[in-house]
Amino acid sequence: MKLMLTALTVALAWALASPASAGNPARGLEISQVCQSCHGEDGNLALEADYPIIAGQHFNYLVRALEDYRSGDRDHAIMSSFARDLSDRDIRDLAAWYSRQEGPLKP
């Protein structure tokens, strides 16, 4: 019994520490309408040659990119103006949605 409780505690701690569990993908889809115009609903659209496909991109990468656009550390006219209004929760939820989609990095 004690071993099972320890295993459950470790599993729960791991799940909570997992980056993908830090965001709500369903909410990410709900708030992704602006993103969809350039990246598509699932992140597999590259409207322009310099727009990345973000489907299946790593959760932490997406979080960092959006935080950098928001702070001005990374500059792109469209992304910087969009990210400026995102909360930390919005960023995590968008990253959770797009990181779980099938794409070039995650078939």
Contacts of 35 (CB under 8 A, 6+ apart): 43, 82, 94, 98
User: Which pLDDT belongs to residue 5?
Assistant: 54
Residue 24 · residue 90 · CB < 8 Å:
no
Judged by DSSP in three states, 57 sits in coil
Residue 71: name the closest of 56, 58, 61, 84 by CA.
84
CATH architecture of the domain formed by 23-99 = Orthogonal Bundle (1.10)
Which tens digit of pLDDT belongs to each residue from 17-58? 455 458 999 999 999 999 999 999 999 999 888 899 999 999
What DSSP character marks residue 20? G
Which whole number is the average pLDDT over 94-106?
93
| 1 vs 58 pLDDT, higher one | 58
User: What is the C-alpha to C-alpha distance for residues 107 and 90, in angstroms, rounded to an integer?
Assistant: 25
Both tokens of 19, joined, read 């980056």
User: Which pLDDT belongs to residue 10?
Assistant: 46
Residue 41: name the closest of 87, 94, 81 by CA.
94
For the chain, the average pLDDT equals 86
User: Which pLDDT belongs to residue 85?
Assistant: 95
Q: Any idea which residue has 């794409």 for tokens?
A: 103
User: What is the C-alpha to C-alpha distance for residues 92 and 7, in angstroms, rounded to an integer?
Assistant: 28
Kindly report the pTM of this predicted structure. 0.79
